[in-house]
Amino acid sequence: MNKRFQGIYAALVTPYTEDGAVNCREAKKLVRYLLAKGIDGFYVGGSTGEAFLLTQEERKLLLEAVLEENNGQAKVIAHVGQISTDLACDLARHASKAGAHGVSAISPFYYKFSLKEIEEYYRDIMDASDLPMFVYNFPNLSGFSLSPEALDDLCRMGDVAGVKFTSNNFFDMERMRRKHPELTIWNGYDEMLCCGLMTGADGAVGSTYNILCPIAKKLYEHMREGRMEEARQCQDKINRMVAVSKRYPNIFVVIKAVLDRDGFSMGGLRKPFLGLPQGAGADIEMIYREFVEPFS
Ligand code: MN9
């Protein structure tokens, strides 16, 4: 099936200026950098983009900057998830006016919302804009696990175009795949990209593709053409990078430091996230030299 949305999408990191404001100039530079490396799309303002540490206004400005620089070249999906339905709908309306290709939303979080409340939240967002919706399933962070049955409900409620599936429950992914061949399923854990593609995912959205896009693109092509061993070699590279990043409080800080090494000025993470600890330089240098520089 030839799908409108497929391939490798970067879950963009959000750069900051020295004063801590969102740095749209640097975000545009990252868009150019990734387009030159063959990225298929951008996922803007998601978990990797520190969505919930940004204001509503900042999320809008960042999306506009990405859309402007992308200028129709790759697909742009706006993450509009929020704890409040009204705020998510406001972002969805903005994404539509600004010209994004789709919206995606994590389920509402913190309170233990009921399934009915969560489904209504998605219905309201889908009603608020004319864009296709990619349901963002990330049980580990959101506390809500999208079941195949809940996905069926959502498909009846509005224009669901797919699922961003950040879970290692490949049984559920396979059930969703089988039932909804027309949907785009994105694999969410980069370290499980081979597994996701094997299970029928159409592509991936992930944080490491900010720096490892060429390796992930190769993996994707190997898998499509049935070269399993070559695909696994690429997976090993991605996983070596992920394994190193597990020594640090989170992977975004590592990704941003590697981008800094490659000539960006990412401005660290927003508090309460901590910066890189002292002595991380050797790991950053290793990641850059082994997994970024040879593929530039
Ligand atoms: O959904 C990403 N998750 C987060 C995607 O950003 C929290 C992944 O790309 C992971 O960062 C990556 C490392 O575990 O797989």
Q: Looking at the domain assignment, is residue 245 inside a domain? A: no
**Residue 156 class from Cβ within 10 Å (0-12 exposed, 13-18 middle, 19+ buried)?**
exposed
- The predicted pLDDT at position 296 comes to 86
Question: Ligand 1 mean position to 48 CA, how many Å?
Answer: 7
Q: How far is CA 216 from CA 71, 99, 161, 204, in A?
A: 23, 27, 23, 9
Q: Looking at the domain assignment, is residue 125 inside a domain? A: yes
Sign of CA dihedral 160, 79, 43, 247: negative
| Alpha carbon distance 177, 173 (integer Å) | 6
Sequence-ordered alpha helix ranges (H) in the chain: 24-36, 56-70, 85-98, 115-128, 139-142, 148-157, 170-179, 193-198, 209-224, 228-245, 251-261, 281-287
The catalytic residues are 136, 164
Q: Looking at the domain assignment, is residue 278 inside a domain? A: no
Q: Looking at the domain assignment, is residue 248 inside a domain? A: no
Mean pLDDT of the residues in the chain: 97
Q: How many domains does the chain have?
A: 1
Q: Kindly report the pTM of this predicted structure.
A: 0.97
Range(s) of the domain holding residue 86: 7-213
Q: Looking at the domain assignment, is residue 161 inside a domain? A: yes
CATH code of the domain covering residue 56: 3.20.20.70
Structure tokens, 35: 């387009």
Measured from the Cα of 245, ligand 1's closest atom is 13
Q: Looking at the domain assignment, is residue 53 inside a domain? A: yes
Measured from the Cα of 138, ligand 1's closest atom is 1
| Per-residue pLDDT reduced to its tens digit, 31-64 | 999 999 999 999 999 999 999 999 999 999 999 9
Q: Looking at the domain assignment, is residue 27 inside a domain? A: yes
pLDDT above 80 for 1: no
- Local structure of 43: helix, strand or coil: strand
Q: Looking at the domain assignment, is residue 145 inside a domain? A: yes
